[in-house]
Amino acid sequence: MSAPRVRRRRHRILIPVLLSALVVITTLVTHAIDQPNQTDAGFLSPLSTGDDGGSRLAAGLAERGVQVRRETDTLAALRAARSGPATLFVPAPQLLHPQTVDDLNLLPGHTRLVLVDPPRRVLDAAGMPLRPAGRRWAARAVAPHLTGPCALPEVTGATAAVARQRYAPTGPPGSVDLCYSAGLARLPGAAENVVVGASDPFRNGRIGEWDNELFATALLATTGRVLWLDLDGPAPPPPTPSTVRTTPPSEPDGGPYDEPDDDQGDPGAGDSTETTPAAPPGGNASGSGGPGREQTSNPLWSAFPPWFWALLAQLVLAALLIAVARARRFGPPTPEPLPVTVPAAETVFGRARLYHQAKAHQSAAEVLRAAAKDRLGRRLHLPADTPDVAAVVAAETGEHPDTVRDLLHGDAPDTDQELLELAKDLDRTARDPRPSPVRPPLPRSEGDPR
């Protein structure tokens, strides 16, 4: 087997493999860009109106008459939970400080804690008998009763995109109630803990799909008051060990959150604001989300869904690859048999028509003169490196050297008639450059009657 054929076969294998790898890498990068991160600015902030913000959820809760209170400090949110029944909503558990995660166990009995896709370290630090049991590529919309009756009656009948991170219990039977194909876990107790495996039902860009809005508002509206922990970055450590004690708040001698506060919270402990978003529930406008965590998006970028830009990028990449493939041939040229046999006269006639249509008198004259010199060299047995073919031809024909030199190396004709005359002269000279010899008369025989 020849080396060019081996190289051609190698190209046939490598090119599809490289193209497939490029498509896979592009898809992975696009998916990573499309999926939000809890550390992104404006992620599930009640003031952010971007796709990853939570302004539509806050507006939906306000329409239900739920009091939404935004907290930017973990200790302030925990203190505010002691003033009455409340739902502590933590949309970014990844930002919690490890030393304050333990304090989530000290919530009073009338509190519901909702964690959105918490990492394994948060589950372990909070002492929850729960572990991640598998993660999907993207959130899947499921009904709450696929694996049995759900222990949260307020979300019954709401099909939501919850099943992305699935969970499994690590404690005794009955310690964890699983719903939505194990994408939602409820841990009963004095303070009810709810772990949701996806952020899709709470985000502006996905809350309008399926029953996500019904699921999110029903889950957070049970107590009539929502403490929205909106961290703008990793939470700082507690001030001092003396400030945060481990005594449960239910003990009569007080606890770590027994500082004086009223229903409005301690104004000096972090940023606590009553949040009533100005954006309509269906709004998804771009712009600043206000103080705290802000998110500014390009209006053109937000006008189309992320999959549109990913598809557009892949089409542009495919067009570039096609252009490169068409512009370059891999390997040396390979002769191929002609599908049909074309007579020489038709080939010459077709080429002549192309020269005539392009009015290429100079190119046609160069082709005719090159062919004539080649024919003359073969007839006169001239070597290829003969310096002056015109002088040799003139010596053989007896014509003036300037005349032959002008015929073989002269100026290009300007008209079709001049080109035709040049072709005739070249053809006559190339056919027989030598003059016709004068043949002597034949001798007469004696018996010839003439």
Does 128 lie in the same domain as 223? yes
Is 445 a member of any domain? no
Does 99 lie in the same domain as 166? yes
Is 86 a member of any domain? yes
Average pLDDT across the chain, whole number: 79
- Predicted local distance difference test score (pLDDT) of residue 359: 86
The two tokens of residue 258 are 């027994």
Closest to 191 measured CA to CA, from 95, 94, 115: 115
- Range of weakest confidence among 93-102, 143-152, 270-279: 270-279
Per the listing, tokens 């239910």 go with 250
Closest to 61 measured CA to CA, from 10, 99, 101, 114: 114
Does 158 lie in the same domain as 110? yes
Q: What is the pLDDT of residues 413-437, one digit of tens each?
A: 888 898 889 888 888 888 765 554 4
According to the per-residue pLDDT averaged within each range, which of 36-45, 100-109, 223-232, 431-440 is highest?
223-232
User: What proportion of the chain, given as a percentage, has pLDDT over 70?
Assistant: 75
Is 399 a member of any domain? yes
The two tokens of residue 138 are 């993207």
Does 104 lie in the same domain as 9? no
- Predicted local distance difference test score (pLDDT) of residue 329: 61
Position 296 confidence tier, pLDDT thresholds 50, 70, 90: very low
According to the per-residue pLDDT averaged within each range, which of 89-93, 132-136, 263-267, 283-287 is highest?
89-93
- Predicted local distance difference test score (pLDDT) of residue 330: 60
Domain range for residue 368?
Answer: 345-431
CATH number, position 178: 3.40.50
Is 446 a member of any domain? no
Residue 364 predicted with pLDDT over 70: yes
Does 285 lie in the same domain as 213? yes
Q: What is the pLDDT of residues 311-343, one digit of tens each?
A: 888 899 988 888 877 776 666 667 777 777 878
Does 229 lie in the same domain as 318? no
Is 75 a member of any domain? yes
Q: What is the mean pLDDT of residues 293-305?
A: 57
CB atoms within 10 A of CB 101: 21
Does 381 lie in the same domain as 318? no
DSSP notation for 348-398: HHHHHHHHHHHT-HHHHHHHHHHHHHHHHHHHTT--TT-S-HHHHHHHHH-
Residue 387 predicted with pLDDT over 90: no
Q: What is the mean pLDDT of residues 130-136?
A: 92
Distance CA 113, CA 82 (A): 13
Position 14 confidence tier, pLDDT thresholds 50, 70, 90: confident
Does 268 lie in the same domain as 164? yes
Number of domains comprising the chain: 3
- Range of weakest confidence among 32-36, 53-57, 398-402: 32-36
Q: What is the pLDDT of residues 193-217, one digit of tens each?
A: 999 999 999 999 999 999 999 999 9
Is 413 a member of any domain? yes
The dihedral over CA atoms of 329, 335, 339, 342, expressed in degrees to the nearest 10, equals 120
- Predicted local distance difference test score (pLDDT) of residue 278: 41
If DSSP states are collapsed to H, E and C, what string results for the chain?
CCHHHHHHHHHHHHHHHHHHHHHHHHHHHHHHHHCCCCCCCCCCCCCCCCCCCCHHHHHHHHHCCCEEEEECCHHHHHHHHHHCCEEEEECCHHHCCHHHHHHHHHCCCCEEEEEECCCHHHHHHCCCCEEEEEEEEEEEEECCCCCCCCCCHHHCCCCEEEEEEEEEECCCCCCCEEECCCCEEEECCCCEEEEECCCHHHCCCCCCCCCHHHHHHHHHCCCCEEEEECCCCCCCCCCCCCCCCCCCCCCCCCCCCCCCCCCCCCCCCCCEEECCCCCCCCCCCCCCCCCCCCCCCCHHHHHCCHHHHHHHHHHHHHHHHHHHHHHCCCCCCCCCCCCCCCCHHHHHHHHHHHHHHHCCHHHHHHHHHHHHHHHHHHHCCCCCCCCCHHHHHHHHHCCCHHHHHHHHHCCCCCCHHHHHHHHHHHHHHHHCCCCCCCCCCCCCCCCCCC
User: What proportion of the chain, given as a percentage, has pLDDT over 90?
Assistant: 34
- Predicted local distance difference test score (pLDDT) of residue 155: 92
Does 213 lie in the same domain as 314? no
- Predicted local distance difference test score (pLDDT) of residue 306: 74
Position 381 confidence tier, pLDDT thresholds 50, 70, 90: confident
Distance between start and end Cα atoms, the chain: 78
Is 304 a member of any domain? no
Does 173 lie in the same domain as 283? yes
- Predicted local distance difference test score (pLDDT) of residue 310: 84
Sheet containing 111-116: which strands, arranged edge to edge? 177-179, 184-187, 192-196, 111-116, 86-90, 225-229, 67-71, 272-274
Does 132 lie in the same domain as 64? yes
For residue 322, the surrounding DSSP H or E stretch is: helix 306-327
Closest to 103 measured CA to CA, from 90, 119, 84, 117: 90
Is 68 a member of any domain? yes
Does 195 lie in the same domain as 169? yes
Residue 20 predicted with pLDDT over 90: no
Distance CA 80, CA 97 (A): 18
Q: What is the pLDDT of residues 73-106, one digit of tens each?
A: 999 999 999 999 999 999 999 999 988 898 888 8
Residue 242 predicted with pLDDT over 70: no
Residue 446 predicted with pLDDT over 60: no
Distance CA 192, CA 210 (A): 26
The phi and psi torsions of 226 (rounded to 5 degrees) equal -120, 125
